[in-house]
Copies of this chain bind each other. A is one copy, B any other.
Amino acid sequence: MTIPGNVLTDLPKNLPDELITTLLESANVRIERIVSHGHASAPDFWHDQEQHEWVIVLKGTARLRFEDGTVEINPGDFINIPAHKKHRVEWTTPDEPTIWLAVHYDTR
């Protein structure tokens, strides 16, 4: 048996854009690795998603903005973002890659 991949070590050297890799795709759930390196959402862009999203930061630091406030996320921190709760990535550290896991799921 072999391990299909490693989210911490399989990193590209250059990262002109945020990198999103689907690790699992199923009927009700999609798990992604997201690698940001100083990236943020485009100015005035807000995510407004059909599915719920549970995210955790494994490495690096990020700031998420919601309509009611901002939260800083450090390694190990997790947060659940209900469907249609508007949010944007305000900032990720320029010092190192920020590695997120995102679990998109629905409740239908």
Interface string of A13-50 (1 = CB under 8 A from B): 00000000001101111010000000000000000000
The number of chain A residues touching the other chain, given as a range, is 35 or more
Give this chain's copy count.
Answer: 2
A77/B6 contact (C-beta < 8 A), A56-B101, A101-B101 known: yes
**Interface of A (DSSP majority class):** strand
* Given A4-B78, A4-B79, A76-B7, residue A103 in contact with residue B66 (CB < 8 A): no
When A and B form their complex, which 8 residue pairs have the shortest distance between CB atoms, in order from nearest? A8-B76, A28-B28, A6-B76, A1-B69, A27-B107, A1-B71, A29-B105, A3-B77
Interface residues of A, Cβ cutoff 8 Å to B: 1-9, 23-24, 26-29, 31, 52, 54, 56, 58, 66, 68-71, 73-80, 101, 103, 105-108
